[in-house]
Structure 1
Amino acid sequence: MASKRVSALLLLTLLMVCDHLYAITGPEVAHLLNNRYQNTTADCVGNHPAYFCSGVLVRGSPETGEFWKHSEIATQLGAESFNYLRADLGTRQLTQKNGVVFSDTFTAIGKFQTLDVLCAYPFTFAMTGTRPDFGCGSLAARAEPDPSSCAAQGVSDAQGWIAHFQQQGLQPDKQCSLSSQAPLLFKASLVAHQGLGGTWAASPNLLQIKNWDANTPRQIPIQALFYDITQTGALLGAQKDQRDYFIATGDWLPILRMNLNQAPDGVFGFQQQDQLYTGYEVAAQMNARYQDVAASCANGTPAYYCNGVLIRGADASAGFHAWNPSPNSVGRNGVSFSYVRDDVGTIGLAGNQGFTFKESFAPTGHPAILRCSYPANAGTSGIPDSCRASCESQNITTVATWQARYAASPGTSCAFSNTPAAFQLSIAVRAVMSASARQNWNEIIIAAWPQDIPEQIPLEALFYLSGNAAALNNAKFIQRDYFQQTARYLPIVRMNLRATDHRPFTYDTADQTLQGTSTQTLINGITPRAPGEY
């Protein structure tokens, strides 16, 4: 009777915290998983097996298709194969580089989701569709509530299991499965996993979990997605899964970094930049800066420190990283950007795709240093030092004095310095340029940075001109190139400077290149710049 009261109280508690569990953030999920990973209890409250409250259930994702759909083998068996990770197990790498994390059973109960663990094998193996009893059997199928097979072979503890396994010649597919219903037998599967030591202990175990309804993914007890940071390209697979789940449900699952070689309290981690949805936030921030036309920042620094968007057209090439300064830029210590803002009036840029920099206030390893600015394209590739004589040195300090000298040929303008007043004046004088000249880009000179430091410069996003399919393909190649060099995700945003809602930057998950497209395919899709183009 007391046991029933404890179980009822436990269920009530789970239901009370259910809403909170739905709303937890990515960092909180990582913290919960690290706590479960470190919990090495033999059983859980109410005399339940350890997986009810401890350890982490994970399943590798297929490279194609929706990850929650059942494979052909799982459909034949009626069950899927999972791995169970915990600090007292020696597992250091899984067979697949990314996948899904299921919640513990108590959490699933609290969310009215079904999680039916059927049996446990101390070591993983290639499951076949003909193995009886949901993949738990090693003999003829039996109609028993517990489908595990060890009991029928006289195996009831870890030492007995090891002896039986040795009798089978240590062949993983000859294992018998231990019960997942009895706490002592499930614990025995964990002890047996460690009992042979060496490479055996470092390999994963295997749990069979009864198939769920794949047509209702929101009812599956999924807690997160993971990728193994020690395996190349793993993030792309996790992002594909994140996108697929969002398309199917409208919900975002957090992507977690996993490193089984880390200390137990740091196996799982969350990084905002890994999430596909961060692109929406980046686009929103860029639009907000675009709409902010303040002449300077709150602390008196130039406007580019806090508003507007610094943007550079860049070619896609398998022989050159788009974010590196060109030899010409290095020689004249000037990388040409444009500065777009709602009051600048630009609708055309020097390039159909490229990248943007964060506002100069944003912390970064190698900040952008603005040397000078021009209200129009100044053709600086032919200027040895990029910056002509300063406007101040010519006593050009107002719109009127600039107009009198340069309005007829703005491309020959003097260079405005990087003081707040001078930078704002470089924008203000555009109001007296001809309509056609004002539609074209201005030119902002950023000091050249060292080659091959993409993680240190303030890269914010990649862009392509809206409606330009070739530019999107080029941006996708640059995105993949960046990922291969840094193992980080840089979102692609669509740009339309003619947008009537004054929000020229748009993010779409369909524009991103994820798992499933080879690098060679992206290289083949590059469209070089036409001779004489911009």
Structure 2
Amino acid sequence: MTTMIISDGRPPITRPIKTKRAPRTFSRLIYLTALAGLTFNALAEPGDDIAAEMTRYYLSTVESCADGQRPAYYCSGLMIKNTRARPGHYAWNPGRAAVSSGGTSFIYLRADTRFNNPDANTLNGFVFYPYGHAHPPIKKAPQVLCAFPLTTWTHKRDDKGCGDQFDTSAVETSCEALNIHTAEDWVDDHLKTDGNLRKQCGFREVSGRFEEKGAQHFYASLKARSLLLKNSDQLEYDTFETPNKLRLSTWAENPDSLPIMAFFYVDDPYLGSGLAAAQQDQLDWVVENKRAYTPIIKITYPATMKEHAVFTFNQADQRICPTYFDSSRWVLKESKWWLVVTPSACSQAVALFNSQAASKELLALHGADAELNALAPGQSIAEQLQCLASKYRSAGEWNLAPWRSAEGLTQAQVLAADCQP
């Protein structure tokens, strides 16, 4: 494809357009009922794809994966880690307690194990891909050490959070050691303790290395919740108000690969929103640590047993865009090359435009172009982009003058110069 270049009376000069597939401009709530027949390729934005994918995994209530040889978390459901913001600490790195115990806590959300907001004091965190569907595939994921049908204060249990509960006089052990291998047996045992969450046993043989046995025991931990929901009105209420609990082996800081599918936040009517913390996590992950683009998804937990969880991608929630430009081309005017760019839908909607990330994208596309090097570059692309995003966010095209310099100028002075310092 070619385009006409402005030539001021001289013969027209043509240069190929550098372009990307233009994404759709919509951002919408992904409702469960609308997604039953959708394929991921039907949605254009990476965040929309992830919201749809999360919904699909949530709705999938399979008993096992890989022909019964892998637990259900390899192909269905969502493993969710709630985190709290701490200065100088990346959210995906294990905390002191996790390092000390060797285990870290997750919850597992699926349509047949639904619950309302699992931790009203935690408003954000991250979500793992099902292990068999990680993008890109990973060779070694954190091992799932044990699964409890209901939360059980695992930070007060020994054996990496899977063993004896410190707050009881009895000695808690694994379900397998008690000859409990089915959901029915687990419910019978749990009711004998009057539903004491601290005294419940956890299934220990739930990792992929146990193959068929691991798949059966993990599903038993899920089915046990379904049985409790059908037992009595009180047990139904208590179970819905109480999430399950998984313990995963603690990983090292900043591992080469970690199957993070999305960062998430929730809105709480009393405690506020976790969006700002999720935006910081996304910025840390993508920009500071140079990882692949990972979207922020809003999770709305069901308020009643008749409702489902909802996963929402909104461009305005993002701190980083997957791409900042749909296309870019060189235009020659008054003997100087201008770079004309078409901002992406995300660029025009994202709450805080990241000019550094946007300028890196353009330099990756055009850093070796002769047009860029025809005149000494002024090192002001980031400043011009920040100005253009501030003044002309909704414009269909932005004009950049790479030779102009912003050295010694404040952003206010760049704005006063109408983005052409």
Describe the shift of the 1:106–1:261 C-alpha distance in structure 2 as closer, same or farther (beyond 3 A): same
Task: Write the distance in 1 (CA, Å) between the matches of 2:217 and 2:160.
Answer: 18
Find the counterpart in structure 1 of residue 143 from structure 2: 116
How is 1:190-339 mapped onto 2 (pairs within 5 angstroms)? 190-194=222-226, 195=228, 196-216=235-255, 218-230=256-268, 232-251=272-291, 252-261=293-302, 267-278=310-321, 281=324
| Cα deviation, residue 171, structure 1 | 2.5
Q: What SS class does the counterpart of residue 197 from structure 1 fall into? A: helix
Task: Write the distance in 1 (CA, Å) between the matches of 2:322 and 2:221.
Answer: 43
| Cα deviation, residue 56, structure 1 | 0.5
- Contact 2:165/2:199 (CA < 8 Å) preserved in 1? no
| Cα deviation, residue 259, structure 1 | 1.0
Partner deviation per Cα, 1:287-309 (whole Å, 9 max, x = no partner)? x9xxx9xxxxxxxxxxxxxxxxx
- Contact 2:126/2:260 (CA < 8 Å) preserved in 1? yes
- Aligned counterpart for 1:42 among listed residues 57, 63, 75: 63
Find the counterpart in structure 2 of residue 175 from structure 1: 200
Partner deviation per Cα, 1:329-381 (whole Å, 9 max, x = no partner)? xxxxxxxxxxxxxxxxxxxxxxxxxx75755899xxxxxxxxxxxxxxxxxxx
Find the counterpart in structure 1 of residue 15 from structure 2: none
Verify: 1:92 aligned to 2:9, yes or no. no
- Aligned counterpart for 2:128 among listed residues 72, 77, 102: 102
Larger fraction in helix = 1
- Contact 2:94/2:252 (CA < 8 Å) preserved in 1? no
Describe the shift of the 1:360–1:243 C-alpha distance in structure 2 as closer, same or farther (beyond 3 A): closer
Describe the shift of the 1:167–1:111 C-alpha distance in structure 2 as closer, same or farther (beyond 3 A): same
Partner deviation per Cα, 1:154-200 (whole Å, 9 max, x = no partner)? 32222222232233342322221113242221111112223131132
How is 1:522-533 mapped onto 2 (pairs within 5 angstroms)? none
| Cα deviation, residue 24, structure 1 | 8.2
| Cα deviation, residue 264, structure 1 | 7.9
- Contact 2:46/2:322 (CA < 8 Å) preserved in 1? no
User: Amino acid of the residue matched to residue 122 of structure 1?
Assistant: P
Identical counterparts, % of pairs: 29
User: Amino acid of the residue matched to residue 125 of structure 1?
Assistant: T
Q: What SS class does the counterpart of residue 110 from structure 1 fall into? A: coil
- Aligned counterpart for 1:69 among listed residues 73, 93, 111: 93
Q: What SS class does the counterpart of residue 253 from structure 1 fall into? A: coil
User: Amino acid of the residue matched to residue 203 of structure 1?
Assistant: T
* Structure 1, unaligned runs of 5 or more: 1-19, 141-146, 293-354, 363-465, 468-493, 505-534
- Contact 2:187/2:224 (CA < 8 Å) preserved in 1? yes
Task: Write the distance in 2 (CA, Å) between the matches of 1:72 and 1:498.
Answer: 46
Find the counterpart in structure 2 of residue 25 from structure 1: 46
| Cα deviation, residue 75, structure 1 | 1.1
| Cα deviation, residue 267, structure 1 | 1.6
- Contact 1:82/1:209 (CA < 8 Å) preserved in 2? yes
Find the counterpart in structure 2 of residue 335 from structure 1: none
Task: Write the distance in 2 (CA, Å) between the matches of 1:157 and 1:226.
Answer: 33
Task: Write the distance in 2 (CA, Å) between the matches of 1:110 and 1:148.
Answer: 34
Task: Write the distance in 2 (CA, Å) between the matches of 1:270 and 1:88.
Answer: 23
User: Amino acid of the residue matched to residue 90 of structure 1?
Assistant: R
Structure 1 ranges of 4+ moved more than 4 A: 262-266, 278-281, 355-362, 498-504
Task: Write the distance in 2 (CA, Å) between the matches of 1:52 and 1:209.
Answer: 14
Task: Write the distance in 2 (CA, Å) between the matches of 1:67 and 1:268.
Answer: 21
Verify: 1:161 aligned to 2:202, yes or no. no
| Cα deviation, residue 151, structure 1 | 1.2
Verify: 1:497 aligned to 2:414, yes or no. yes
Partner deviation per Cα, 1:212-237 (whole Å, 9 max, x = no partner)? 12232x41111110111345221111
Verify: 1:186 aligned to 2:218, yes or no. yes
- Contact 2:118/2:241 (CA < 8 Å) preserved in 1? no
Larger radius of gyration: 1
Describe the shift of the 1:166–1:498 C-alpha distance in structure 2 as closer, same or farther (beyond 3 A): closer
Task: Write the distance in 2 (CA, Å) between the matches of 1:200 and 1:125.
Answer: 12
* Structure 2, unaligned runs of 5 or more: 1-40, 167-171, 208-213, 229-234, 334-389, 398-408
Task: Write the distance in 2 (CA, Å) between the matches of 1:191 and 1:35.
Answer: 19
How is 1:120-131 mapped onto 2 (pairs within 5 angstroms)? 120-128=147-155, 131=157
User: Amino acid of the residue matched to residue 26 of structure 1?
Assistant: G
TM-score, normalised to structure 2, is: 0.58
Task: Write the distance in 1 (CA, Å) between the matches of 2:107 and 2:100.
Answer: 20
Task: Write the distance in 2 (CA, Å) between the matches of 1:126 and 1:265.
Answer: 26
Q: What SS class does the counterpart of residue 160 from structure 2 fall into? A: helix
Higher relative contact order structure (alpha carbons within 8 Å, sequence separation ≥ 6): 2
Task: Write the distance in 1 (CA, Å) between the matches of 2:104 and 2:77.
Answer: 18
